[in-house]
Amino acid sequence: MSRIIYADHAATTALSPAALEAMTPYLTQQYGNPSSLYRFGQQAKAGLEDARTRIAACLGAEADEVYFTSGGTEADNWAIRGVLEAQAKKGNHVITSAIEHHAVLHTLDALARQGLCQVTQVGVDAQGRVNPEEVRAALRPDTVLISIMAANNEIGTIEPVAEIGAIARQAGVLFHTDAVQAVGHIPVQVNDWKVDLLSLSGHKFHGPRGIGALYVRKPLRLPPLIFGGGQEKGRRSGTEYVAGAVGMAAALQEAVGQMETEGRRLSALRDRLIDGILSQVPRSSLTGPRENRLPGTASFVFACVEGESILLRLDSRGVCASSGSACSSASLDPSHVLLSIGLPHEVAHGSLRLSLGRETTAEDVDDLLTIIPEVVAGLRAMSPLWCEN
Ligand code: PLP
């Protein structure tokens, strides 16, 4: 195997050199505990607060609206559980979409099983887009939360969050968006989107793993999900991961700074990849829309092949890719996202997500366009089900 082609940036990304450089002092010299009163601890605290201010600025938020978490999963769990607890007097109805990440869907399932919430899942169209009018129609007097993702992790669809935010605001219902795949990749401004809560995760934009944040619009105060020493103004206990916060801030500023040029470069590579796959692989289709998709994400289904078999063959040729989301690719069930866009089970099994990113070169795309048609043809040659049309 000569070289690796990393085409799984939606799963995770490499720590950027700028983020590593920003983190290093907090891992080596300035390792004080930000809760300690002596100067050494307060220097770490200053680093943490500076990171908070810089992250808030990237989102058009205020520093005291940003709470650090262990990642996107915790931020999603906290947003949902926190709102349900805070608004228990008003009701417990939540509107979400059928294509959310499992951090949202499984949290809601668990709460519904305990009788702690009632959930309406709005469907999506064949491109994975939520219709804001369906969200409006699902509103009830006891609705306390709308949770709709900003961009889908499997098929890259960008959702109409600003329109949904306007509906939520008009109805006086809190709006949470899981923006884990959006932040650092497309413009995210909390006021333009009228969101009250927004989840993000450092490792999706070349920051470190194990750090994320939840934006909580003032004056909303969420009850804690995690109890302990009272860090994060008593809202999220646990000794702060200062180096992580500092690294995430550096990575986000870098990603936002190069978003326009990098977005254009990646969209061009992505479109060349999509056109090439669709023209070279018979009975292949794009999942998600042509326009309005994340700049780096190209996702497909191929008739008469299993996504897992494609992944294994691609791995043997040095290609890192995914079928559906990284988190669920261990399971053999077809992706809930692909079923929700109307694909039959047998088609949804043949999925492949290629997510390009900062390291991706034009040569990588050339190689993907050689390797993928060969791999799919090789698997189909062994399949009794395969026929050209
Ligand atoms: N939400 C979305 C849309 C994601 O894609 C992911 C990760 O793949 C998560 C949430 C979970 O984030 P984390 O890995 O930081 O827990």
Token pair in block for residue 74: 């915790």
- Report the separation in Å between the CA atom of 201 and the middle of ligand 1, taken as the mean of its atom positions: 7
Residue 327 has pLDDT above 70, yes or no: no
Residue closest to 165 by CA, chosen among 138, 201, 137, 197: 197
Token pair in block for residue 322: 């995914």
DSSP letter (8 states) at residue 202: G
pTM of the model: 0.97
pLDDT at 267: 98
Residue 96 has pLDDT above 80, yes or no: yes
Residue 53 has pLDDT above 70, yes or no: yes
Ligand 1 pocket residue status of 72, Cβ below 6 Å: yes
pLDDT per residue as tens digits for the range 351-387: 999 999 999 999 999 999 999 999 999 999 998 877 7
pLDDT at 324: 67
- Report the separation in Å between the CA atom of 73 and the middle of ligand 1, taken as the mean of its atom positions: 6
The residues that bridge with 174 in the sheet, in sequence order, are: 145
DSSP letter (8 states) at residue 144: E
Nearest atom in ligand 1 to the alpha carbon of residue 201 is 15
Average pLDDT, the chain: 96
Catalytic residue chosen out of the listed positions 58, 304, 327, 387: 327
pLDDT at 331: 58
If you average pLDDT over residues 320-336, what whole number do you get?
71
Task: Tell me the C-alpha distance between 146 and 163, whole Å.
Answer: 12
Token pair in block for residue 3: 């070289």
pLDDT at 295: 98
Q: Which residue, by CA, sits nearest to atom 10 of ligand 1?
A: 72
286 phi and psi angles, rounded to 5 deg = -75, 140
- Report the separation in Å between the CA atom of 156 and the middle of ligand 1, taken as the mean of its atom positions: 13
Q: Which residue, by CA, sits nearest to atom 4 of ligand 1?
A: 180
pLDDT at 337: 97
Task: Tell me the C-alpha distance between 97 and 99, whole Å.
Answer: 5
Q: Name 336's Cβ contacts closer than 8 Å, sequence gap at least 6.
A: 98, 99, 105
Token pair in block for residue 344: 């039959």
* DSSP string across 150-193: SB-TTT-BBP-HHHHHHHHHHHT-EEEEE-TTTTTTS---HHHH
Range 283-305 burial, b when 16+ CB lie within 10 A, else e: bbebbbbeebbbbbbbbbbbbbb
pLDDT band at 332 (very low <50, low <70, confident <90, very high): low
pLDDT per residue as tens digits for the range 186-242: 999 999 999 999 999 999 999 999 999 999 999 999 999 999 999 999 999 999 999
pLDDT per residue as tens digits for the range 229-283: 999 999 999 999 999 999 999 999 999 999 999 999 999 999 999 999 999 999 9
pLDDT at 161: 98
- Report the separation in Å between the CA atom of 251 and the middle of ligand 1, taken as the mean of its atom positions: 17
DSSP letter (8 states) at residue 216: E
* DSSP string across 309-340: HHHHHHHHTTEE-BSS-GGGTTS-SPPHHHHH
pLDDT at 326: 43
User: How are beta strands 197-201 and 212-216 bridged, if at all?
Assistant: antiparallel
3-state secondary structure of 138: helix
DSSP letter (8 states) at residue 224: P
Residue 91 has pLDDT above 90, yes or no: yes
Residue 327 a catalytic site member: yes
pLDDT band at 330 (very low <50, low <70, confident <90, very high): low
Number of H-type helices and E-type strands within the chain: 13, 12
Residue closest to 81 by CA, chosen among 238, 193, 236: 236
Nearest atom in ligand 1 to the alpha carbon of residue 151 is 3
3-state secondary structure of 376: helix
Token pair in block for residue 257: 């700074």
Q: Name 275's Cβ contacts closer than 8 Å, sequence gap at least 6.
A: none
Task: Tell me the C-alpha distance between 221 and 207, whole Å.
Answer: 27
Cis peptide, bond prior to residue 187, ω within 30 of zero: no
pLDDT at 386: 75
